[in-house]
Structure 1
Amino acid sequence: MTTELERYAASLLPVFGTPQLVIDHGDGAYVVDTAGRRYLDLVGGIAVNALGHNHPALVEAITKQAGQLVHVSNFFTTPAQIALAERLLRISGAPAGSKVFFCNSGTEAIEAAIKLSRRTGRRGLVAAQGAFHGRTTGALALTAKAAYREPFEPLIPDVTHVPYADVAALRAAVGPETAAIVLEPVQGEAGVVEPADDYLRAAREIASAAGALLIIDEVQTGIGRTGDWFGFQRSGIVPDAITVAKGLGGGVPIGALITFGEHTSGLLTAGQHGTTFGGNPLACAAGLAVLDTIEADGLLEHVGAVGDAFAARVTEAGIPGVRGVRGRGLLRAIVLEEEIAAQAVVTARGQGFLVNAVAPDALRLAPPLVITDAELATFADALPRILEEAA
């Protein structure tokens, strides 16, 4: 009898390798595989499932919208598209004259941001070492990892990568030909690396002095993941644009570029960019349900509280093999003393927990924002056994 994973291997391109599990369904912060085994989902679709699995508000919104209208093309608009754009402008604190462009993913939002930067008349882009901005050829040029980039070079030119969180290096790289600086408030794929509090403020000053755009990639950090609506907000800056995706749809594909202020919002005009499915009413209804629930349930405060409590619990436990906990809110990395993260993923899965080896010595956690302190505590309590077995 052919197994599901054998059928997968026979029918799908192997770009993701072999899946770890075949997931059948989920509820809250848990998923269940096709063999009936239950797991605490600390991956959250890689920071996507903001409301967890099978959340009634999201299910209701999607069901209702599917019964009304799924797609109409961008020759037209819908109430859901307009309402979600207005909500994003409000929660981002965008000034008057700001605008939203809807797409389907974080990578597409970055592509739109690159085109936005080209409309300044300049070509240079400055990004950070350790950055991950996507895998399409434009976004890949900003992504730092050589293994992702090199098989597809030459990519778009005039991209410079500087050490992350190094103000002096950033200042030295930005000049009169720089169109934009593109930064993450917290680098997720690099191992959940958080810069000093003044880094984004320095980036804002450097960009302004050079006449360049400051574009903040909030694809992973946005929509409450760090305990604020967006990761940049803690620094008090006003960027020129941000990119959003992942958690916005709670699992339904959606992305957005938000341009701040009239000048930046006027750079892309009619006919200069587009997408067939962007801003479709189904995805926008999902986005509204996610934002409504985060507000109604006080999830921003919840994320900050449970994330800090978890980090403190792991740190204070003095677990052998743990060097510390990085990150903010519910975007965290458990930093290990040895490079056993890949083995720890396997042992954790065997004990009913899904985690991600974001680096050889780091386990990334990006669970649903609705996860409870008690649920996170079960993982913290299991961590010594997990690491002992992995080692």
Structure 2
Amino acid sequence: MDSRTVALIRTTFKSVAAEDDGPEKLARSFYAILFTDYPQVRDFFPAALDAQRDRLVKAIAYVVDRLEEPERLLPFLAQLGRDHRKYGVVAEHYAAVCQSLKSALAAYAGTELWTDEVDRAWDEGINIIANTMIGAAEQETTPPVWTGTVIEHREVLRNLAVVRLRLDQPMQYAAGQYMSVQIPSRPRMWRYLSPAIPANANGELEFHIRGVTGGWVSPAMVGHTRVGEQWLIGSPLGGLGVPRNTRRKLLMVGCGTGIAPLRAQLMAMTARRSNPKVDVFVGGHYPCDLYDLEVLSQLACANKWLTVHPVTESNENPWWHFDNGEEPPEFPGLEPRKVGQIGKIVAGHGSWDDRDVQIVGAPSMVQTTKFRLMAAGTPTENIRHDPLF
């Protein structure tokens, strides 16, 4: 795709997204056109489309921003194509989605902005996206979906649970990746979760799940999951991970359940003969949010290359956290806990310009930490995080 084509696609999308309610209007228009012109595809989507609409626009923005980086964009699209097999979609469904998206963009942009040249540019861009996804899906030999049986459900906090599952067949994934998950009580509502342990021959997965207030799926996962329940798991996604034999030092920053993919990578690294120095900053609003310190302590004590820095924004636990009056346990091998905003504390240690950096957590935390590190001197190309949608 030449620079002129990329510029036309980016300009028209930015003009739509720049409006205060532009992204929401675009998403609503897209789904209205799609379900009107192709009613047979409605069954692929959940009844409530709020989360779906938001995710759609963010995914388009992510792709548009990387049209000039095929080495990053094409593997991402290929992963999406393999993951979309779980819906049972085929090439004709991609055609319906592509045509509906282009119609929604053209209607919103208007005749002055949506010229014949812009139309051709979007045709080229959409064809690359669709063909990459379709090709990856057709070439994949792994199952379109795995079935996982819940073997353990443990509530760690009032709104946080650890769930372990055993898959019907082993799944090969890289420590640090994530996958889409569907539970029986919320059909067609897929949510992304990161395993907290590396792949193993027994096909076991462990997810750390925080219930989002007002959410449709995560509160049900935390509060109503039962042993024996069967979940559906899509293909692994994401590009986080530590290459073997790397000599680059690492900085990992995770908040809340964002520690899960980082912990999985640390566990995988313990099986290697040698590792570079790794600093991990794990954060939360309250001390009780650092729910996994015992495991991180064990990893730090057993591996001299690992340093763990606990960080909380508050020095006290919230009113709802059960406190029996005893002093919290002291875990060896950890740095003293610091109080403050995690991005500010991490950046306060220096530029980290000699490190490969991974950041995992809520989108706002990822962006804030990334900007603080960049301001402190960390090269942008050294910082990695998964798409924020």
Give the TM-score of the pair, scaled to structure 2.
Answer: 0.25
Of the two, which has the highest radius of gyration? 2
Q: Which has the higher contact order (CA 8 A, sep 6+)?
A: 1
